[in-house]
């Protein structure tokens, strides 16, 4: 198996979907590399979307991602409002500047949605074709694997090219073996492996940078109002909850908000309400094409920020070290699911997104609460065990219903799982994390395709969009 960094799993992303937005965006930018030597000869292009990318592509912003990627924009460094403005402009003028320089007509068949064709390799497939003045052409097929990862037929994991870490951890049992052998905590083991690619100071800086980005997303979500994009016209709720819980007092920024929160009522009911509010705030930003921290996907990007925000505000003595440990452990657990199952809802349903993020958050919370390596893995197992079989059925193909609320549920389950594990004798556990990851993958393979991000079953088939519009 390839070595995967925790920062491949937890990273900067753009909403609303890591598999349907970020993955196609990466694919478009990769195709630009093939185009550049002959860019001046380019006559026309066509992009074909297949399977889940076609069925829920419009609601997930796949067309937006493809066009912005072909323009050469990198969402990691561009303001999302600027990107949306650029997209609206090119749709209006029906022109696109490939790589920012070569102008092409944006014809009606520039992007083709093949709703009835699903590729046998992966349900998230897209093909780029470029046609030149001399009547020659080039094309490339890509697969969007979830979490922003992409591959091609020639390269099974084209976004990963990492050297092997010193202590490869491809399974939970590997983590326990190395921790027992060297008497390390899980964060200490992860630091050794991550140092294959980054210095210790870079590892810490990246963790704290991701935490800062999580806080920014939460703060935007708490303060942005109105309806989310799309035909459902879902009203943002996080801002209303924030105003209700803070009784309308004026708060300047996240740091001041934190100070207020740490002195606030810490009753069970109030803390639970804040956890939900954090998760809603993040996923409403995601649904609005905003900047988020993908962890491990965008549809589930509210779970880890909500649980970490809960720990930071309501648990004692949570500082930079604990925040760093939290992100390292969460990311490492995510790599196990990536390697041995899937983090793609189009492959495994929502158990592959919310389930995985909940397991990641549970393990991380257990770690900073003083859990042993065995208890940390037990927390992840408990969280995933109670997400097995969870379907992905986004109403109207939008990452809104039930996706936004589901992040609150994933966060709550993560906290419960960590609380159970921290007071348990992990040696008495009947189910290991490796067992539950294998079970999740088997369940994913058994699950009907219509429950895998197609909007053809479940809530998506029982909610009348026409009725909602009226």
How much is the mean pLDDT over the chain? 95
pLDDT at site 470: 28
Q: Are 142 and 126 in contact (CB under 8 A)?
A: yes
User: Which CATH number goes with the domain that contains 102?
Assistant: 3.30.1330.90
Q: How many distinct helices (H) and strands (E) make up the chain?
A: 20, 9
* In a domain? residue 211: no
Confidence at residue 465, expressed as pLDDT on a 0 to 100 scale: 65
> Which pLDDT value is given to residue 468?
46
98 within a domain of the structure (yes/no): yes
The tens digit of pLDDT for each residue in 321-350 reads 999 999 999 999 999 999 999 999 999 999
Is 79 among the domain residues? yes
pLDDT tens digits, 174-198: 999 999 999 999 999 999 999 999 9
Q: What is the pLDDT of residues 56-65, one digit of tens each?
A: 999 999 999 9
Q: Nearest 5°: CA angle at 203, between 201 and 206? A: 105
Query: Is position 382 within any domain?
Result: no
Asked if residue 95 is part of any domain, the answer here is yes
pLDDT at 466 over 80: no
Which band of pLDDT confidence, cut at 50, 70 and 90, is reported for residue 38? very high
* C-beta separation of 80 from 14 below 8 A: yes
Residue 91, Cβ density class (10 Å: 0-12 exposed, 13-18 middle, ≥19 buried): middle
Measured between alpha carbons, how far is residue 66 from residues 61, 96, 321 in Å?
Answer: 9, 11, 39
> What does the pLDDT average to over 226-255?
95
| Closest of 173, 97, 90, 138 to residue 340, by C-alpha | 173
Residue found by looking up tokens 């003083």 in the block: 370
Query: What's the DSSP call for residue 250?
Result: -
Q: What is the mean pLDDT of residues 276-300?
A: 98
Q: Where in the sequence is the domain holding 82, given as residue range(s)?
A: 16-151
Backbone CA torsion sign across 153, 155, 160, 163:
positive
Q: Can you say whether residue 104 is alpha, beta or left, with left for phi > 0 and alpha for psi between -120 and 50 degrees?
A: beta
Distance of alpha carbon 334 from alpha carbon 57, whole angstroms: 25
**Is the pLDDT reported for residue 212 higher than 90?**
yes
Mean per-residue pLDDT, 120-129: 95
Give 124-175 as a 3 state SS string: EEEEEEEEECCCCEEEEEEEEEECCEEECCCCCCCCCCCCCCCCCCCCHHHH
* Residues ≥6 apart with Cβ < 8 Å to 265: none
Which helix (H) or strand (E) segment holds residue 14: the answer is strand 11-14
Number of domains composing the chain: 1
**Whether this model's pTM surpasses 0.85:** yes
């Amino acid at each position: 198996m390839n070595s995967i960094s925790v920062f491949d799993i937890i990273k900067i992303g753009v909403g609303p979907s890591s598999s349907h937005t970020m993955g196609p965006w990466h694919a478009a930018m990769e195709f630009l590399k093939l185009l550049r030597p002959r860019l001046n000869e380019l006559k026309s292009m066509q992009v074909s979307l297949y399977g889940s990318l076609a069925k829920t592509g419009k609601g997930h912003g796949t067309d937006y991602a493809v066009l912005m990627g072909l323009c050469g924009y990198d969402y990691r460094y561009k303001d999302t409002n600027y990107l949306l403005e650029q997209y609206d402009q090119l749709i209006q003028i029906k022109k696109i500047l490939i790589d920012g320089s070569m102008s092409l007509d944006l014809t009606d068949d520039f992007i083709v949605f093949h709703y009835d064709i699903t590729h046998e390799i992966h349900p998230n497939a897209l093909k780029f074709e470029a046609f030149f003045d001399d009547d020659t052409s080039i094309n490339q097929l890509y697969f969007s694997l979830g979490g922003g990862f992409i591959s091609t037929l020639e390269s099974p994991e084209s976004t990963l090219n990492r050297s092997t870490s010193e202590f490869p951890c491809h399974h939970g049992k590997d983590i326990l073996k190395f921790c027992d052998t060297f008497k390390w905590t899980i964060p200490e083991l992860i630091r050794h492996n991550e140092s294959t690619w980054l210095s210790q100071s870079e590892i810490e800086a990246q963790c704290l940078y991701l935490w800062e980005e999580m806080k920014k997303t939460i703060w935007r979500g708490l303060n942005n109002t109105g309806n989310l994009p799309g035909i459902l016209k879902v009203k943002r709720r996080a801002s209303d909850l924030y105003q209700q819980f803070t009784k309308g007092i004026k708060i300047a920024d996240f740091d001041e908000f934190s100070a207020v929160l740490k002195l606030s009522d810490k009753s069970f009911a109030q803390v639970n309400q804040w956890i939900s509010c954090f998760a809603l705030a993040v996923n409403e930003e995601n649904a609005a094409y905003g900047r988020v921290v993908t962890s491990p996907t965008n549809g589930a990007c509210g779970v880890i920020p909500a649980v970490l925000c809960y720990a930071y505000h309501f648990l004692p003595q949570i500082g930079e070290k604990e925040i760093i440990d939290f992100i390292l452990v969460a990311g490492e657990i995510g790599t196990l699911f990536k390697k041995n199952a899937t983090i793609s809802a189009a492959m495994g349903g929502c158990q592959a997104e919310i389930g995985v993020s909940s397991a990641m958050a549970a393990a991380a919370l257990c770690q900073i609460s003083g859990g042993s390596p065995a208890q940390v893995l037990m927390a992840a197992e408990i969280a995933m065990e109670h997400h097995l079989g969870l379907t992905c059925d986004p109403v109207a193909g939008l990452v809104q219903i039930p996706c936004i609320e589901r992040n609150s549920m994933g966060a709550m389950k993560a906290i419960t799982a960590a609380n159970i594990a921290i007071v348990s004798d992990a040696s008495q556990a009947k189910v290991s994390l490796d067992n539950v990851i294998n079970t999740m993958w088997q369940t994913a393979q058994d699950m009907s395709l219509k429950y895998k991000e197609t909007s053809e079953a479940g809530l998506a088939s029982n909610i009348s969009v026409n009725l909602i519009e009226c």
